[in-house]
Amino acid sequence: MIVAVGIDVVLVERFARALDRTPLLADRLFTEGERLTGSGNPRSAESLAARFAAKEAVAKALGAPAGLRWHDCEIVADPDGRPWLTVSGTVAAAAAERGVNRWHLSLSHDGGIASAMVVAES
């Protein structure tokens, strides 16, 4: 049963400028696994912006409760590159409180815009 849907969009250029202005922002928002590709190279601004949009979409699906930690929602890829959400800590607790035990995720970036949609399911 679908509990909630969350959607977010991010302007890639604006997000890239924020990362340039604040060097530690990427560390604060993303886990090492999110910042780096499977081969250990840094992810592109488009890819990071889509991951940020996913974290925002998760928060929206949960009703944007206070106290969620950025690292408690991680976007990982399976061997085929398909993105998945893993939640822990504050995000897992908020999800459990709302009966969410499964997530569906879609990421996209094109034309300077990154977007994400999540479906929270019980």
Q: How far is the C-alpha of 102 from the C-alpha of 58, rounded, in Å?
A: 12
Q: How far is the C-alpha of 21 from the C-alpha of 100, rounded, in Å?
A: 36
Are 25 and 19 in contact by the 8 Å Cβ rule? The answer is yes
Which residues, at least 6 apart from 89, have a Cβ–Cβ distance to it below 8 Å? Answer: 69, 71, 72
What the block records as the tokens of 46 is 């488009």
Is 72 annotated as a binding-site member?
A: no
Is 78 annotated as a binding-site member?
A: no
Helices (H) and strands (E) in the chain, counts: 5, 5
Residues of each annotated binding site: 8, 56
Residues of each annotated binding site for Mg(2+): 8, 56
